Homo-oligomer: A and B are copies of this chain.
Amino acid sequence: MVYGEKLIAQTLHDLGVRVIFGLPGLPVIDIAQEGMNLGIRFVAFRNEQAAAYAATAYGYLTGRPGICIAVGGPGVLHVMTGLPHATVNCWPLLVLGGSSETHNGGKGAFQELDAISLLTPHAKLAIRPPDPDTIPKFIKDAYRAAMYGRPGPAFVDLPANLILGTFDVERKKMMALPEAPKSMAPDNKIRDIVNALRGAKAPLLVVGKGAAYSRAETQIRTLVDRAGIPFFPTPMAKGITADSSPYNFSAARSTAMKQTDIVLVLGARLNWILSFGLPPKWSPTVKIIQVDFAADELGKNGGDPELSVAGDIGLVVDQILKQIGTWKWQERNSDYYKALQMAKLRN
């Protein structure tokens, strides 16, 4: 016999969860309590909205779903805000929501709310275990959904009777999930990219937060140092490359965007932050090569669908490094490079 709350906490612990964010309340507080007994840290908040935001940040930093617990009804409504936030940012988030007892379903029970219907449009997976036996599998499925593929939010609805009941469930230790699957680009596409870079008059690298999520710091620093191509990071990508790098032209961003003819964008979307990759901020003839883990992004706005590739930033930059060899961009005397230098000094 096992308490539902214990089964839930053990499942989370098995999956490698060591921190839970949330707002304590019945019935989910018992999950937090059991979690703490297992050595999981519980970080309490005063509004589920903030707890969900914290959990998404944790997910971004660790590459594994940040966990957030919330009571049913208003708690789930407050936490709801965090789901589209996780979707937009592609950050892994797993919300566990308490809910009223199933046998009072449809009657207007305390904090009754069909959280599954509410959150299905906003989650990669929103599920409710139909019985105690399925609790571990359902939590694992949601955890995996949040983390694998394009990361995002997942939700598990846990009715009070499943949390607070005791059940004759045989407890099996679960294996933690390996890190999210990563992909590489086809070799011929890498060759095309390298040729494009080599042929560039005014090359540019843009480093985005996808590079941070991929932990591609080493590869990108190697590429920058070896190839000597001017770059700038997006606001969320600060720290991947050194601010002090001679190739860092953050201070010449507008000039770089306007004058580059071939740009390699590593893990950044071509949205307003990058002026959509479109004129007037960028040249009408620029070729923008996107490297993104989400194939859906390729060719969007100003992206070049022929040259862009889907894959893990670190692995793809490794592929590029292998083919680019010791080549170094030489045009230190070009108008482009001078313009960048001048703008950098000026700003």
On A, residues with C-beta under 8 Å from B are 47, 49, 74, 77-78, 80-81, 84-85, 102-110, 112-114, 116-118, 120-121, 124-127, 129-131, 133-134, 137-138, 141, 144-145, 148-150, 177-178, 180-187, 269-272, 276, 278, 294-296, 298-301, 305-306, 308-312, 315
A130 and B138 alpha carbons, distance in the complex (Å): 17
| A105-B127, A305-B177 known; A81-B77 Cβ under 8 A | yes
- Are A80 and B78 in contact (CB-based, < 8 A)? no
A311: chain B residues within 8 A (beta carbon):
183-184
| A84-B77, A148-B295, A296-B124 known; A181-B308 Cβ under 8 A | yes
A118: chain B residues within 8 A (beta carbon):
84
- Are B108 and A295 in contact (CB-based, < 8 A)? no
- Are A141 and B296 in contact (CB-based, < 8 A)? no
Interface centre among A113, A138, A301 (most CB of B within 10 A): A301
Q: In the assembly, how many copies of this chain are there?
A: 4
- Residue in B74, B130, B315 whose CB lies within 8 Å of A85: B74
Rounded to whole Å, the gap between the CB of A275 and the closest CB of chain B is: 10
| A102-B131, A103-B134 known; A305-B178 Cβ under 8 A | yes
| A108-B271, A184-B186 known; A299-B144 Cβ under 8 A | yes
- Are A300 and B141 in contact (CB-based, < 8 A)? yes
Known pairs A103-B130, A178-B306 / 4 extra A-B pairs, C-beta < 8 Å: A105-B127, A121-B121, A183-B183, A186-B315
- Are B272 and A109 in contact (CB-based, < 8 A)? yes
A100 — nearest CB in chain B belongs to which residue?
A: B272
